[in-house]
């Protein structure tokens, strides 16, 4: 039998249930977190066409040095961890779906699985 490790408690360890909040009104409406301020600054910077060109050239240079490393470093972090697939009835069959599992610690592709959807068979 394996023992389950308990998860570390989150938040302030000096906080007890039922204590009065040190900030009862919360964050003022309209105020931005540090993360949102940083994203806003980056958005303004990237609105400048000169900065877009500089970034584009730098990314192209990184890609040319090592395309796999570029993919792992810049593309994988932007990909969703999960995706939902739905198929409507208007597809021309057969349809091939290719699932690729990328191991961000190593090189890719790590695994590739294929699923084949075929139309109704003639009887």
88 is a domain residue: no
> CA-based angle 48:70:42, to the nearest 5?
25
pLDDT digits (tens, 9 = 90+) for 58-104: 999 999 999 999 988 988 888 877 767 776 677 676 666 666 665 55
Which pair of structure tokens corresponds to residue 98?
């290719």
Domain enclosing residue 38, as ranges: 32-65
What is the DSSP code (8-state) at residue 76? Answer: G
Domain count, the chain: 2
Are residues 36 and 58 located together in one domain of the fold?
yes
Same domain, 76 and 103: yes
Note whether 38 and 55 are same-domain residues.
yes
pTM: 0.45
61 and 75, same domain (yes or no): no
Residues 70 and 113 in one domain: yes
Core vs surface per residue 46-82: b (16+ CB within 10 A) or e: eeeeeeeeeeeeeeeeeeeeeeeebbbeeeeeeeeee
């Amino acid at each position: 039998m394996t023992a389950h490790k308990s998860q570390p408690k989150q938040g302030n360890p000096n906080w007890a249930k039922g204590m009065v909040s040190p900030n009862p009104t919360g964050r003022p409406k309209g105020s931005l977190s540090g993360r949102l301020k940083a994203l806003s600054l980056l958005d303004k910077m990237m609105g400048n066409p000169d900065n877009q060109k500089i970034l584009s050239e730098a990314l192209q240079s990184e890609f040319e040095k090592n395309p796999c490393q570029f993919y792992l470093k810049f593309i994988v972090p932007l990909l969703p961890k999960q995706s939902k697939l739905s198929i409507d009835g208007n597809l021309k069959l057969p349809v091939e779906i290719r699932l690729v599992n990328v191991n961000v610690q190593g090189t890719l592709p790590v695994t590739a699985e294929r699923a084949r959807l075929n139309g109704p068979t003639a009887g």
